[in-house]
Amino acid sequence: MPETFKAIVVNQTEKDFTREVKSIEKSFLKHGDVLVKVDYSGLNYKDALIMRNGASLVKEFPHIPGIDFSGSVIESENKNYTKGDEVILTGWRVGEIYYGGYSQLAKVNGDFLVKKPKDITTKQAMILGTAGFTALMCSFAVKAKEELLLGEKVNNVLVTGATGGVGSISVMTLAKLGYNVTAVTRKSEHNDYLKSIGAKTILNSNVFEKDPRPLDKGLWDCAIDTVGGKILSNVLAQTKDAGVVAACGNASDIKLNTTVMPFIIRGVKLWGISSVSTSKKRREFIWNEASKLIDFEKLEKSVKIISLEELLNVYPKMLKGETSGRYLVDLNK
């Protein structure tokens, strides 16, 4: 095992915020009881914010970002993991207050890890990553209308921000569950791809960027919203009786201009989705469902594999809305 390895290190000085790929020593890693050789990490919107300026999420510098990763255990002081175990990590504020996955070696609390199911690879686990895990959580929130809430069958489901990591995986998962999926995007050049992964209908985002009415014509049994702002306000107003709207993002705006009308007249449920501190039992359930709901061959067509060095050039484009699909960071590249 090498004593030095490559990682992205961000640092806040009196003058500016820096980010660079550095060679660091194993002794630099100060958290956790399980040492993992990282195969892959991902680029999520939160990662891009942290790479830009720490996003008020990072409290101590220097710091290694990267909120998710997959790989294999090489050292463990945790009774639940032994050398060679293949593992997945998402959430638990790793990459924020704990050193993250933009590193060839990562040391974390074993309670944060999940053993990788045998029917997916470490690469496939990070093709999903935090974005895919969140998308699966959103999709099961939609399914809950039928099963947990004992509601009527779900037919028509809307997905906003459909070309993003969460959005595209949500489209695929919902289609696999048998729903008619309407994908919302402003990037018409990706329409063919969205249809290939299961979208029945595609709408331009500008349809949802008008000032919302308290209630609008009910069009959707359920929805997954990844962007927030006016778009979410309009989605709520257009959701049918007893519909579930799973909200997981704020790429458009953190503000929500709505009224109580969708909730008290139609019984719409706004279901906030955060994958950060999801229970281990639920994590294991969702990861074990992944292979049944994801067509990795199709999904991989939208995956761009990049190195740590390339990541430094890509993250600003995500913040400008100039990326689509999933970016996978290969720690061996």
> 329 is written with which tokens?
């960071």
Pick the CATH number of 4-116+302-330 from 1.10.260.40, 3.30.590.10, 3.90.180.10, 3.40.50.720: 3.90.180.10
CATH class of residue range 130-272: alpha beta
pLDDT number for residue 332: 92
pLDDT number for residue 1: 64
> What is the tally of helices (H) and strands (E) in the chain?
9, 15
Break the chain into its structural domains and give their ranges. 4-116+302-330, 130-272
Cα-Cα-Cα-Cα torsion 58, 62, 65, 70, nearest 10 degrees, comes to -130
H or E segment and range at residue 76:
strand 68-76
Q: In the Cβ-directed half-sphere of 303, how many Cα atoms lie within 13 Å?
A: 23
pLDDT number for residue 214: 95
pLDDT number for residue 151: 85
**Residues 310, 183 contacting (CB under 8 angstroms):** no
pTM of this prediction? 0.90
pLDDT number for residue 97: 94
4-116+302-330 and 130-272, same CATH topology: no
Q: Which residues of the chain fall short of a pLDDT of 50? A: none
In degrees, to the nearest 5, what angle opens at C-alpha 290 toward C-alphas 284 and 296? Answer: 145
